Amino acid sequence: MSKKIKHILITCALAAVFAFSAAISACTIKTKHPRAAITIEFNDVTYKIEYTLYRNMYPQTVQHFIELADAGFYNNMIIHDYHTNGEWYTGAYSYEASDEHLAYSTAYANNDMADYLNEYSKEQAYYDLFESGALTPSVYKTDSFVGDNNTVKAEDALPTLIGEFSANDHNIKKGALTADYGVLKMYYYDKGSANKQVTIKNSFDQILMHDYKYNAATSIFTIQTSQSGGNSANNYAIFARLRNEKQIDKLDALTEAIADYEESISSTNGSLFKSYNTQVDKLDSFAGDEGRNISRDFNLTSLPLIIRSVKITKY
C-alpha cells in the first residue's frame, strides 16, 4: 500500500473517531481528551509525536498511563523489538549510558545484554510507585467485597490494571478504537496455567469477577507501526491515536530512518539486532510460581530506540 493511500485511509479513520468523540463530549462531564507528546530518539535525532488519549472510552487505562507519565516513569525507556511484527514494546527497561560496566553500548558489544536487562529492569520501580499510592487501583483479590456490590477493600488492591477490551467485558457500542497504524496499546503477559480469578471495578462502577490474565497489565505499552496489529482490540486496550496527519508523517519519518539505518548496517555485513532471553513478571507473586518469571526473548539493537519523555496535557 502506498504512503498516500495509507494516509487517506488513516485520515478518514481519524475523522470518524473525532466526529464520534465530539458527539460524546456534548453529553459527558469530561468534555475533552488529554493529549500525550512522546519524544523518541533514534541516531541522535528526536521525534516528538503527539497523541489523543480516549478517556471517554478507556478511562482507567488512560488514567494509568497518565499517572505513570506524570511520575516520569517512561522517561529514558528502551523500545525493543522495533524491527519485528509492527509492534514496538516499551515500559520495561530503562536506557543507561553512564555506567561503564553496564552501559548499553558496552553491554551490547560484549554480549552482556541479559545482565543489562536484569540491572535496568523497571519492574521494582513500578511496584514502588503503586505502593506509594501514585497509581489508582482497579484490580482486587477475590475476597475483597465489603457489604454491597459497589465496594471493595482498599487493602486487597493488586498492582495491575483492569483490561478495558471486549474479551474482558469492556464493550463500546460505537466508535471503539481499532488496531490501526500508530495506535497505543496497553500490554500484559498471559499468565497461562497460573491464571486466577480477580475482582475488577470497572468504569461503570460495576464489580465483576474475571480472569487475572486480562487484568495483569503494569507499565508496558506498544506503538503499532503496521497497518493491522497482532495485539487485537479484542484482547488489548487500544487507548490512543495519532492526533492528526502531521503526526502520521512524523512516525513515518522515524520508521523510514530506522529502515535506512538497518539497510546501511546490512550492506556492511553487520547485525543491527541481537535476541536475548530474559525473565519478566519476576515480582508478580499473585500469579503464583507457575506464572512468574515468564521467559521472553527481546530483540535489542546496537543503536537503541529510546523514549526520552512522555508529557501529558490535561484538560
Please write the tens of the pLDDT for every residue from 241-275.
Answer: 999 999 999 999 999 998 888 888 766 656 667 77
- The per-residue pLDDT for 84 is 61
Phi, psi torsion values for 242, nearest 5 degrees: -60, 140
**Predicted confidence (pLDDT) at residue 228 exceeds the cutoff of 80:** no
Q: What is the pLDDT of residues 175-203, one digit of tens each?
A: 899 999 999 999 998 776 667 889 888 88
Q: What percent of the chain has pLDDT over 90?
A: 43
**pLDDT higher than 90, residue 100:** no
Per-residue confidence (pLDDT) for residue 12, from 0 to 100:
45
Identify which has the larger pLDDT, 83 or 233. Answer: 233
Mean pLDDT of the chain: 82
For residue 5, CA distances in Å to 8, 9, 10, 32, 265 come to: 5, 6, 9, 30, 30
pLDDT score recorded for residue 273: 72
Q: Residue 104: which H helix or E strand, with range?
A: helix 104-109
pLDDT tens, 13-49? 444 443 333 333 333 334 468 999 999 999 999 999 9
pTM, rounded to two decimals: 0.86
CA angle at 127 for the pair 123 and 128, rounded to the nearest 5°: 115
pLDDT, position 85: 67
- Largest Cα–Cα distance of the chain, in whole Å? 68
